[in-house]
Amino acid sequence: MEQSTHAATTHRIEVEDLLVEATTALFDAHGISLVRLDPEAAVRVQSGTMVTSTVGFAGDDLRGALVISTSLDFVRRLQVQLGSDESSIEAASDTLGEFSNMLLGRLKYSLLLRGVTIFVATPTTALGEHLMVPPLTGCPSPWLRFDGEMGVFNTRLDASFSPEFAFATASPRDLPVGAGEMMMF
């Protein structure tokens, strides 16, 4: 039995909402305020070198990739905020790759709380001008745009949902450790 288009759209919107929450929480944890822009809002034009990171994920009923993209200037400001004085292109690529990994980790945790388990791959980054990352075939994935004093930050969830995809109706009893918490053994 095939999942209805309405159900798939509803699931996509719910997961994108979780991604918006994860994005603002991740940057807040690093002292950086980002505000989600209305999809219809005019966005500052990003010019110059862009840095993009993609990290894949897969679960029983959900698979795809998280894509983040921003200007090299944003990444440089991010590195300064984090106390790094490394200015190489490789360091900028590593920084954004690590942020895509942390962001997907936060999304993974949010999904886990809703009864959905995914496994994540290693991020891949690219730098250049006029970068374009088309969405997966059949995945109508809009860019989720954020703005802050550091500039514009973009993220997109390219995901496909199986017809069996569903969120758990009850919360788990034993909550896993939250993002940013430490475990002592």
- The 10s digit of each residue's pLDDT in 150-180 is 999 999 999 989 989 998 876 655 556 665 5
Chain-centroid distance of CA 47 in Å reads: 22
Domains annotated for the chain, with CATH where assigned, are 5-37+49-160 (3.40.1550.10)
pLDDT band at 141 (very low <50, low <70, confident <90, very high): confident
Say how many C-beta atoms besides its own lie within 10 A of residue 107's C-beta: 25
* Residue-level pLDDT at 1: 36
pLDDT, one tens digit per residue, over 97-129 is 999 999 999 999 999 999 999 999 999 999 998
**Amino acid code (one letter) for 41:** A
Q: pTM of the predicted model, to two decimals?
A: 0.85
